[in-house]
Amino acid sequence: MTRPTELAEYNFRNAQGSFTRGILNVGNDRNAGDTFAGLQYIAEGLVNLAVGLRATYILHEEVNRKLGPRKP
């Protein structure tokens, strides 16, 4: 089963690719190019955020595994 952070990274990477294609296909419309470029940077940041969040969850699971079962 895909984890939510993996799915988020997948979706953000798809968005990033779409914005990159938009930049390449914009032609001479500078405003549209700037908009696509801005959206591409946002998508790139979201990819980085998803990767970092997933790494945090992995470390959290490792710490919990090392701590063992907790008593109530």
Sequence ranges of the domains in the chain: 4-66
pTM: 0.65
Q: How many of the other CB atoms lie within 10 Å of CB of 39? A: 17
Mean pLDDT of 63-72: 86
pLDDT digits (tens, 9 = 90+) for 4-51: 777 888 888 888 888 888 878 777 777 787 888 888 888 888 888 888
Q: How many residues make up the chain in this entry?
A: 72
> Does 59 have pLDDT greater than 80?
yes
